Amino acid sequence: MFGDLFEEDYSSVSNDHYGKGKKLKTKALELPAPRGFTSLSGIRNQGGTCYLNSLLQTLHFTPEFREALFSLGPEELGSLEDKDKPDAKVRIIPLQLQRLFAQLLLLDQEAASTADLTDSFGWTSDEEMRQHDVQELNRILFSALETSLVGTSGHDLINRLYHGTIVNQIVCKECKNVSEKQEDFLDLTVAVRNVSGLGDALWDMYVEEEVFDSDNLYHCGTCDRLVKAAKSAKLRKLPPFLTFSLLRFNFDFVKCERYKETSCYTFPLRINLKPFCEQSELDDLEYMYDLFSVIIHKGGCYGGHYHVYIKDVDHLGNWQFQEDKSNPDVNLEDLRNEEELDDPLMILKAVLLQEESNLIPVDQLGQKLLKKIGISWNKKYRKQYGPLRKFLQLHSQIFLLSSDDSTVSLLKDCSLQAESDIRGNDQQLLKTLTSEPPGLNDRPFCPHWFDINDSRVQPIKEKDIEQQFQGKESAYMLFYRKSQLQRPPEARANPRYRVPCHLLNEMDAANIELHIKRAECDSTNNNFELHLHLSPHYHFFNGALHPVVSQTESMWDLTFDKRKTLGDLRQSIFQLLRKILHLPLPKRDGPDALPSLLLEFWEGDMVLSVAKFVPAGLHVYQTLDGDHLTLCEIEIADGEDIFVWNGVEVGGIQIPAGSDCEPLLLNVLHPATSNEEEECQQLIDSPHVFPSNAEIGSVFTAFAIPDGVILVNKTESVGEESWITIPKEDLKKTFREQGLRNGSSILIQDSNDGNSLLTKQGKWITSVNEIDWLQVKNLCQLDAEEEQVKISATLNTCLKVMLEKSGLSGDAWHLRKMDWCYEAGEALREEDAALKELMLCSGDTLLLIEGKLPPLGFLKVPIWWYQPRGPLHRWKSHQDQTDCTFSQGGVWRADSIQDAPSDAHTEVSLRYLGDVEISEDATLGELKSQAMTLPSFSEFSIPSPAFLRAWTVESKRPGRLLRAHYQQLREYKLGQRTEICLEPLQKEENLGPQHVLLRTQMRLPGKRAYALPVDLVWDTARGWTAGSLRHRVADFYSLPVEKIEIAKYLPEKFEWLPIPSWNQQITKRKKKKKQDNLQGAPYHLKDGDTIGIKNLLVEDDDDFSTVRDDIGREKQKEFALGKKKSQEALRVRSGDVPSGAETPARPRGPEASLSIHVGSFR
């Protein structure tokens, strides 16, 4: 019935899996991954079967259902080997379920496949790719099982575990005759809309009585006439397992579309059903149920995904979290308490301090973070702190990023501080680790929860269930089990319990086969190649290592198992050297004894270092330490170059090692040295090697130039080059800090040469970056030196350039950065700040906006005049006072509008007065006083600011009421875009935080209209209840509380929402008063809301609407219909002209019923 109402995203599924009725299975994994650290198995998604996977896991973790199915042997169900025989009656569905449950229990694989099970359902690939509703599947699967088990000892399996009954009763108020009707159920469907939780929904269904009276009388068979009666329902028989289906999907008849209820809907971990049962004489334990499964739907009503929270009743899984699993031993260096893990600064400092040079590529930093805390940056910190690279940039006072953001290190001061901080935390860490052992707290006594999401199984905490109360990802089905159901001790942590022998043998054989194949695969996959470079075959010159003879003769390839240790690698290299040197291997006195001849050959210890080929030659990086560590743990990669040496020198020359001194091969252009005076001096382009940590000024020393200017080539586009001058103060920076790489070009110009060498070559563009730098030539006749002046590109400079380019003048302009919605974002205020400080990059769009910004700490607030219609809101301008009379109390009254019927609840009149520039430290009263000085305000006669009420403007209507007269504007958190409207008052008011200001309108008898609105202040100190509001309204209008009806007006829907008298709904059989709160759904009452009042003494009907409401709703329907027609016309036009470049969106498929095909076994 739902078809593909809940479609999943098929973008990751190959089109080859689609077919029209044909069976096109995805190819099974030849070697499935073993189970994860939880020791539980997931189920692979076939494309759209997440709903099936969630329900199957729930049934699998229902031990009573699983064992009842296992109790049916081949003599009753038949054998899968005989399923193709024509005369054999093989009950395929229960057999495949048995086999699937056995795989989930015993087979060592990360996820089981449901392909054989869906085959038994008779599903094609179309049905496996289409997602259905899990509530519908629950009923259809139970029906298929009941049909499949007819004639076996398990024929009543479903009824025995899930069947319950409800009794509906109608009691005649006259003769007390009871009319009864009993209904069966396998699951209970409960409402979500306008209900706060499961308890309230059950109360409405099985405690509340529906009364038949007035125009809705009941025909009693005994009395043979229409009488008053009461209808109620009760639970008569409770099953061992109770399933609740939540009605989260509804239909909006106004918009003609489906929608999902995402409001908060609570449900308890344990529930007592005694108040809802017909028989309540038994002990309370008979009515107690525990939650053990929650199926969750994530997404909307036209697409989404299912997963399930499961309670491990039999303790089959390992609830230990992965980060604890990887470090079972308490280790102060690796384990941190939860508070420290939440601080990314502390974690990143600890990772960098473990590096010898405190320098590491940013990409490797993320990997080391994952290894240290067991969870990646994106999963742990990205949502709160953003990407890792951006986080490092924002904390430049701690981390030093290279110019190309590829490497990061700790600043020296911060590294010392971090070391002291970590030492200071060690004692606290020890206390935390010894008081809270990780992982298996109370494991034998308390079952734990897991999140099973298709193939992925993760442990969760019980409190995580509360996150599924509301939102787009929320609970959809709830499964409870009787608290009295106890599991036998032999079933605890025993996955083989009650599994039939033939399935045990099948799973054992499959596990043996899997282990053999994995061992073979591991042996093949874990071998990798290492390239060994022996130091006697190399010599050091021009900043790098080079082979003495040739590269081929200086390198040896070694195949090695990366699971072995570094010590094993050393021994293998010794054996390789013995073969190379043709030396016999002498006897060893112990495992650490080294061959004496090799010691003499190396003249010291053998050191293994990671080396890499760079353009300058072979460079040695970090030294490998820790002979007990495996090559995987020290992160040796396939094809790594290993340099074998004594760790100090090669050929008598000390070798610089590490990434900080990596040699750079640069192209240096320098003047040609000539004894003859040439009219046009030439440039020589020569390669030269410099250490990356050397100062740029060392170029002068290398080329014997006493002083000069250095320019760096910056390629703008193909065939075009530009040169940037390096200021003198930056000559002490290193090549790496300046952003130079291998192949970069630098130009040396002698400062004594007054002529530019760039223009004489004729092949370079001689532009210098005009925004960042200017080179100023000293044209005075004095012997002053030439200076380089740094001119930063500030926001103010950018503003002037944009005004000049636009041909505009004046200072009443400011800049805003375009956001990702292509709209003007927040104003850029710091005019003297550099563009880099404002995080402005190349390609950003700046908008030139008219209007001068207020100074920092000031607000520019637009002021509006708000004049609601009503007897208490008749302040008049000076021009209108001739038509008004002044009464006592300072109220201006106009005779022409007294007691006129009104629909003023739909009208909001705002008039712009002007802008006020005011400090954020000013009070609300000062804002009102400054607004009264606006020229437009002079038209109104307001005695003082105390006679003004302030609102924020939201969607062209008054929004939030600003109460405290002496509260600072900063505390209201108004923001730069907030607008304020002022409403006149007839007297001063002092509203407290517990007061709510409502607009009340009395309905005119005999007319579909209301009197003018009147302000009413409601004190909510005793609660936001309907009874409290009704008493306040009745007292305000001097009416009996039982003779009024009130309703809240919803202007966006042109509807009135009645606020009922909750006391009138309490019946004799009701044992609990329903708690109402008008702050919550569906009323969400707040300041400024309109409340309609109906006097039942003169009018007794249920209609609150007006003629204007009818017109408004009709216009809304016409608008929705016109929008729908325009969308359909657009789709038709786009379908008539197909585009070859664009792939049309896959249309939503027609609704199709879900079915499971079962043979006849009667």
Q: What is the DSSP secondary-structure string of 755-802?
A: S-SHHHHSSS-----TTTEEEEP--SSS-PPPEEEE---BHHHHHHHH
Q: Which of 50, 220, 277, 301 is catalytic?
A: 50
Q: What is the mean pLDDT of residues 358-372?
A: 79
Per-residue pLDDT at 784: 40
How do the residues of the chain divide into helix, strand and coil, expressed in percent and rounded to 5?
30, 25, 45
DSSP string, 1107-1158: HHHHHHHHHHHHHHHHHHHHHHHHHHHHHHS--SSSPPPPPPPPP-------
- Cα–Cα dist 852/831, whole Å: 12
Q: Using 50, 70 and 90 to split pLDDT, how confident is the model at 697?
A: confident
Interval 50-85: pLDDT, tens = 999 999 999 999 999 999 999 999 999 999 888 888
Judge contact between 973 and 924, C-beta under 8 A.
Answer: no
Q: What is the mean pLDDT of residues 310-335?
A: 63
Longest dimension (CA), the chain: 134
Q: What is the mean pLDDT of residues 364-379?
A: 79
- Cα–Cα dist 733/712, whole Å: 13
- Cα–Cα dist 1125/548, whole Å: 81
Beta strand 303-311 with 449-453 is antiparallel
Mean pLDDT of the chain: 78
- Asked if residue 841 has pLDDT above 90, the reply is no
Hey, what amino acid is at 424?
G
Between 807 and 784, the higher pLDDT residue: 807
Interval 430-470: pLDDT, tens = 333 233 333 333 444 578 999 999 999 999 999 999 999 99
Helix (H) or strand (E) holding 414: helix 412-435
Q: Using 50, 70 and 90 to split pLDDT, how confident is the model at 890?
A: very low
Per-residue pLDDT at 75: 93
Tokens 């198995």 map to which residue? 41
Lowest mean pLDDT, pick from 198-212, 392-406, 1022-1036: 392-406
- Cα–Cα dist 615/688, whole Å: 11
Show the tokens assigned to 71: 């109790």
- Cα–Cα dist 850/735, whole Å: 44
Q: Is 565 helix (H, G, I), strand (E, B) or coil?
A: strand
- Asked if residue 970 has pLDDT above 60, the reply is yes
Interval 1104-1128: pLDDT, tens = 999 999 999 999 888 888 888 888 8
Closest CA to 105 of 494, 371, 387: 494
Q: Using 50, 70 and 90 to split pLDDT, how confident is the model at 752?
A: low
- Asked if residue 499 has pLDDT above 90, the reply is yes
Per-residue pLDDT at 413: 56
Quick check: is 305 catalytic?
Answer: yes
**Spatial CB neighbours of 22, under 8 Å, sequence gap ≥ 6:** 124, 125
Per-residue pLDDT at 26: 37
Cα 789 to chain centroid, rounded: 48
Per-residue pLDDT at 378: 80
Hey, what amino acid is at 25?
K
Q: Is 1120 helix (H, G, I), strand (E, B) or coil?
A: helix
Lowest mean pLDDT, pick from 86-95, 203-212, 767-776: 767-776
Interval 411-431: pLDDT, tens = 765 555 544 544 444 444 333
Q: Using 50, 70 and 90 to split pLDDT, how confident is the model at 391?
A: confident
Lowest mean pLDDT, pick from 303-312, 518-527, 803-812, 1151-1160: 1151-1160
- Asked if residue 323 has pLDDT above 50, the reply is no
Q: Using 50, 70 and 90 to split pLDDT, how confident is the model at 867?
A: confident
Q: Using 50, 70 and 90 to split pLDDT, how confident is the model at 726?
A: confident
- Asked if residue 8 has pLDDT above 50, the reply is no
Tokens 């007065």 map to which residue? 913
- Asked if residue 1075 has pLDDT above 90, the reply is no
Per-residue pLDDT at 669: 86
Give me the helices (H) in 950-1072, please: 969-972, 1026-1037
Show the tokens assigned to 1160: 């006849």
Interval 637-684: pLDDT, tens = 888 999 998 888 888 889 999 888 999 998 888 877 554 444 445 778
Q: What is the mean pLDDT of residues 492-497?
A: 94
pTM score, whole prediction: 0.47
**Strand (E) positions, 831-963?**
846-850, 858-866, 885-887, 891-893, 910-919, 948-954, 957-962
Ramachandran area for residue 604 (φ above 0: left; ψ -120 to 50: alpha; else beta): left
Per-residue pLDDT at 349: 83
Interval 173-198: pLDDT, tens = 999 999 999 999 999 999 999 899 99
- Cα–Cα dist 440/317, whole Å: 11
Q: Is 81 helix (H, G, I), strand (E, B) or coil?
A: helix
Q: Which of 305, 315, 619, 814 is catalytic?
A: 305
Lowest mean pLDDT, pick from 59-63, 492-496, 807-811: 807-811
- Asked if residue 149 has pLDDT above 80, the reply is yes
Rg (CA), the chain: 40
Lowest mean pLDDT, pick from 482-491, 596-605, 929-938: 596-605
- Asked if residue 968 has pLDDT above 70, the reply is yes
Quick check: is 50 catalytic?
Answer: yes
Percent of the chain surpassing pLDDT 90: 33
Per-residue pLDDT at 670: 80
Per-residue pLDDT at 126: 67
Question: Is residue 372 packed enough to be buried (19+ CB in 10 Å), middle (13-18) or exposed (0-12)?
Answer: buried
